[in-house]
Amino acid sequence: EAGVAQSPRYKIIEKRQSVAFWCNPISGHATLYWYQQILGQGPKLLIQFQNNGVVDDSQLPKDRFSAERLKGVDSTLKIQPAKLEDSAVYLCASSSTDGNTEAFFGQGTRLTVV
């Protein structure tokens, strides 16, 4: 079974530029999560989708971050404009909604804003 795919693996941008990250979840997984993991901290949930609907985006900085999952499969997270404090690893995870299941994580995208 293929895992959660994320791209790119690394990205370096200047502040005020925009950037987009892509995630393809495990086939058939209805739930998709985006997390931000700042160095030395635990993953912080940014947004959670179930199919193409948003379940929780309470911690998403909506003035600069946006995410979509238009067809309920792959998802894109965008930052525009980026700030220095956005430097982090952006993790995508997916899980099934059938019964009790765990979330599976991708390798993440390491973003450096300079």
Partner 1 sequence: AQSVSQHNHHVILSEAASLELGCNYSYGGTVNLFWYVQYPGQHLQLLLKYFSGDPLVKGIKGFEAEFIKSKFSFNLRKPSVQWSDTAEYFCAVKLKAAGNKLTFGGGTRVLVKP
Using the rule CB under 8 A, is 34 a contact of partner 1?
no
Peptide bond into 61 cis (omega under 30): no
Closest CB 34 distance from partner 1, rounded Å:
11
Q: How many CA atoms lie within 13 Å of 106's alpha carbon, on the beta-carbon side?
A: 28
For partner 1, give the closer residue by CB, 22 or 104: 104
Peptide bond into 81 cis (omega under 30): yes
Using the rule CB under 8 A, is 52 a contact of partner 1?
no
Q: Are strands 44-50 and 53-56 parallel, antiparallel or unpaired?
A: antiparallel
For partner 1, give the closer residue by CB, 19 or 103: 103
CA 90, CA 108: separation in Å to the nearest integer? 5
Helix (H, G, I), strand (E, B) or coil at 14: coil
CA 72, CA 101: separation in Å to the nearest integer? 19
Point out which span in 18-26, 61-69, 77-85, 87-95 binds partner 1 (CB under 8 A).
87-95
Using the rule CB under 8 A, is 88 a contact of partner 1?
no
The only residue of 46, 60, 103, 113 in contact with partner 1, by rule CB under 8 A? 103
Footprint on this chain of partner 1 (rule: CB under 8 A): 31, 33, 35, 40-45, 48, 50, 55-56, 91, 93, 95, 97, 100, 102-108
